[in-house]
Amino acid sequence: MRQVITYSKRIVVKLGTGLLTNKKAQIDHEIIQKLVKQIAHLIHEGRQVVLVSSGAIGAGFPMLQLDKRPTTLPLLQASASIGQAKLMRLYDNLFSRENIVVGQILLTRDDLKIRKRHLNIRNTMTSLLQRQVLPIINENDTVSVDEIRFGDNDMLSALVANLIQADLLINLTNVDGLLQCSEDGKSLGTTVIPEVKGLPQHIFRHSTSEKSALGSGGMKSKLMAARMMTTSGEFMVIANGRVDNILIKVINGESIGTLFTPAKPKMVSRKRWIAFFHQAKGKIFVDNGAAKALVYNGKSLLPKGIINIEGKFNIGDIVLIYDNNNEEIGRGMVNFSSTDLVLIMGRHTSDIEPILGHRSYEEIIHRDNLVITSSESEER
């Protein structure tokens, strides 16, 4: 399976804060120089590369005379405004030595959620890549608030990879990959799990909640990113960025780090937008018959199969779909508000108009606006 990723044409590389900064909370120029040369090598090979770089807050907060990463939003944003400028100056200087032009794109979740802005950003990035320019992406920390934050750059990198339909996401960190946990599940060993197909729920027991003192992510967030990639039909690698020539080794198919392989075929663009770029507004719980029809038979969701709902949502919002074992099986765009759905759930389609006085749609969620996230289906 490693041989497949050697053919990757479009690649997203994510560099974590713990990798880019040293123990003194300062930018590690030596490691950045090494990674820049490797990225340049990939571009000169004819591959299209997007760089998602953490480190802005880690680079900026020492300039505010702080001895550790701040926790309040104003200080985080102030640190990011200083650190982002420092990082881009460094990247521009180093990549110019490799005859590569860089472009900066700072994003919030709203930029990717709103369809028009989503498409504009994708078109901009495509134009840059077609001209062998390296887009350097980070969250726009200076304007982001909790409601529109990605949470961490692990998720941002997976969203960017889905936005441009990259073949491969390489997440470089300061650990060797996903580590095998002990039999009691309480600690991690030193053995790297070389390959994971899809991302079954039990894999999360091989992660801890530990985060870098300078960053916002941990192994769990990397696994969430891997789930997004494999659900959309793409590959992801988690590896140690301090290993010599790590990017070259990964792209050459060497068995290094952990490779996450897709369990499903590639997802089309619109379904990626529905599945990943929205914060769900509610939940719909379905019975066994409806769950089977959705997961295995590729059907639309009808009111008859709904047994409960949670949250308040309007027409066009994204909701999560759960089976009666409380496991997520999909997500989709609803044709009815939660107010109306309470009245018609469990009823036949023919009952919609008599109850509501109108029937604009027969389906609660049409299959074209439905994404199955259960690993048991290849439905698109």
- Which residues are known binding-site members for substrate? 54, 141, 153
How far, in Å, CA of 310 to CA of 325, rounded?
15
Write down the residue that tokens 């994971």 correspond to.
196
Decide: 137 and 105 in contact? Cβ < 8 Å.
yes
Please count the CA atoms within 13 angstroms of the CA of 176 that sit on its side-chain side. Answer: 11
How far, in Å, CA of 145 to CA of 141, rounded?
8
Sequence ranges of the binding site for ATP: 14, 216-222
**Length of the chain (residues):** 380
Name the H helices within 21-133. Answer: 29-44, 56-60, 73-97, 109-113, 115-130
φ/ψ region of 165 (left if φ > 0, alpha if ψ in -120 to 50, else beta) reads left
Structure tokens at 69: 């990463």
Structure tokens at 351: 């009952």
C-alpha closest to that of 344 among 334, 330, 333? 334
Sequence ranges of the binding site: 14, 54, 141, 153, 216-222
Write down the residue that tokens 């140690």 correspond to.
240
Helix (H) or strand (E) holding 163: helix 153-163
End-to-end, the C-alpha distance of the chain in Å comes to 23
Q: List beta partners, residue 371.
A: 331
Helix (H) or strand (E) holding 4: helix 2-5
Structure tokens at 72: 């309040």
Residue 21: strand, helix, or coil: strand
C-alpha closest to that of 172 among 110, 122, 243, 104? 243
Structure tokens at 297: 């038979």
How far, in Å, CA of 186 to CA of 190, rounded?
14
